[in-house]
A and B are shown apart, each in its own frame.
Chain A
């Protein structure tokens, strides 16, 4: 079962912490967004491997956009 990690708020992709193929634990940061000088983490919903990473640094994203998928 793949689990999508969604953007919790509008913002810019500030830092890609993990890449596709990396293994992650639930709650671990995959990407950090930046908005209003706040660093907003996008985290893994489940333990697994990142099957898709759908953003790159500098990209603008909106709340609830899918940032990554973990399977």
Chain B
């Protein structure tokens, strides 16, 4: 036995030498100096990221290069393309995967190698579209740069690049984006065209960086102040924050674990070793019966869903609602919950926007929604009005009506005003399961009596006594048990029965979900 490989035929040697030489060149990326600089910043190169994230990777376009010219158009050298991509296995699943190489001209697209249709980035999107597999993108680049027009010999309209496929994919397959380093301009734009985005805490994200801001506005701003993680995860541009790249890759894998490969498939149900009839007595200690005492939404979500299955999305923005993915009896579900810890749970414009984005995603990938409602109304006040709360709130209602997935609502405490319509599917089954802490109405009795009977109170002989009498009368009417008796709410349960009951309804609802697969059909063509 010998380990010697069979001899290579001489006529092949030259071809293989050239192949190896070219492969080595491609592996050099933008050169040792730039790679070292990335490492010094605690960052990986795109090839290291891909190696870390995937268990198999077949690169496409490995030998693509571009002519690197100086500012006057003189050829300096040939450089590898600034985009690396291919077919990978990520989190145990086939994905189209790729990203900018920041060591090559800061990840800027080069002439004929544009990220859009026909270029390398475009191929990776076509791969996701044609094979109906998720798209995973590592975003680190400055978007366009002026050097590209130097290479073309003319400036060009950015509109000549198509974004069509990027939008189309959002209705077909999961699209995930990770920002590590700088994501600016076109790269930032591509980042938000995703279902889930995550950035490391040391990264920046913006439409234009400090030099552009300085020129346009005459303002000198620090890049982290302008677009650091604290800004981008609070504006909602980026969903989640990560400690480092390992954490970010882990979060993308976790997000994907709840989603199907594409909208034509069911979300992956996993075997659950957490019994649905597990006692959840602790829930009573977590819901204050005084409606003036808040609680953290996550404190009531976690005992009800499968143990350790809740993955919060968008923690730092629109905080009056909490959103995330979880499992119930192994079934992947979307969780939305009013969060009384912020604005008392009142839905402001940002919370509505966050909810819409999340509900649309759940509906697209056939994830049933469980909504824990405790909403005193749409947010009021000057700030809320300036932020256009009414329009955003009404859009939140529309997104739930249009959602093509079962929605089970747990009425935890308050349900007042129009915002209540944004906590269930009012035109669907509208299954609302109330806890005994629930209360509801057009307006809370206290303020409502004052607003509705001001004149009567003023004109009465004893205004204080009259006000007290009206309050008493309406408090009796507002007793939630009266509504339950009138079948004005679908069910009232002991909170400790919630897990087992919701799990059963979700299991039954899957009969419907199975027959609703495919792209979402929007009921209405436009949002107001």
A residues neighboring B (CB under 8 Å): 8-10, 35-41
Contacts and interface: CB of A to CB of B under 8 A. Distances in A.
A36 B447 CA distance: 13
Interface stretch (B99-107, B242-250, B341-349, B463-471): B341-349
Contacts of A38: 292-294, 340, 344
Nearest to B376: A36
A9 B341 CA distance: 6
A12 to B, nearest CB: 13
Given A38-B292, A40-B341, 19 more contacts: A8-B296, A8-B341, A9-B294, A9-B341, A35-B343, A35-B344, A36-B343, A36-B344, A36-B346, A36-B376, A37-B344, A37-B376, A38-B294, A38-B340, A39-B292, A39-B293, A39-B294, A40-B294, A41-B293
Contacts of B341: 8-9, 40
Interface residues of B, number: 12
Contacts of B342: 9-10
Interface string B337-360: 000111110100000000000000
A7 B131 CA distance: 49
Nearest to B446: A37
Nearest to B288: A39
Contacts of B376: 36-37
B445 to A, nearest CB: 13
B295 to A, nearest CB: 10
A36 B293 CA distance: 11
B344 to A, nearest CB: 3
B241 to A, nearest CB: 14
Contacts of A35: 343-344
A10 B381 CA distance: 15
B130 to A, nearest CB: 46
Interface of B: 290, 292-294, 296, 340-344, 346, 376
Contacts of A37: 292, 344, 376
Closest 5 CB pairs of A and B: A36-B344, A38-B344, A38-B294, A39-B292, A9-B341
Contacts of B293: 38-39, 41
A37 B343 CA distance: 9
A39 B293 CA distance: 5
Contacts of A8: 296, 341
Contacts of A10: 342
15 contacts: A9-B294, A9-B342, A35-B343, A35-B344, A36-B343, A36-B346, A36-B376, A37-B344, A38-B292, A38-B293, A38-B294, A38-B340, A39-B292, A39-B293, A40-B294
B106 to A, nearest CB: 34
B297 to A, nearest CB: 12
A37 B446 CA distance: 12
A35 B339 CA distance: 13
A40 B288 CA distance: 11
Identify the interface centre among A9, A10, A36, A37: most chain B CB within 10 Å of its CB. A36
A38 B320 CA distance: 13
Contacts of A9: 294, 341-342
Nearest to A34: B292
A39 B344 CA distance: 9
A8 B341 CA distance: 7
A41 B344 CA distance: 13
B149 to A, nearest CB: 45
B314 to A, nearest CB: 16
A36 B340 CA distance: 9
Contacts of A41: 293
Contacts of B296: 8
A35 B346 CA distance: 11
B143 to A, nearest CB: 33
A10 B342 CA distance: 8
A37 B340 CA distance: 10
Residue among A9, A10, A38, A39 having the largest count of chain B Cβ atoms under 10 Å: A38
A27 B376 CA distance: 27
Nearest to B293: A39
Contacts of B290: 39
B417 to A, nearest CB: 14
Contacts of A40: 294, 341
B351 to A, nearest CB: 13
A65 to B, nearest CB: 15
Interface centre among B292, B293, B294, B340 (most CB of A within 10 A): B294
B230 to A, nearest CB: 11
Nearest to B343: A36
A23 to B, nearest CB: 24
A7 to B, nearest CB: 11
A8 B343 CA distance: 11
A35 B344 CA distance: 7
A38 to B, nearest CB: 5
A9 B293 CA distance: 13
B222 to A, nearest CB: 20
A8 B340 CA distance: 11
A69 B340 CA distance: 25
A45 to B, nearest CB: 15
A14 B341 CA distance: 15
A37 B293 CA distance: 9
The residue among A9, A39, A41 with the most chain B CB atoms within 10 A of its own CB is A9
Contacts of B344: 35-38
Contacts of B340: 38
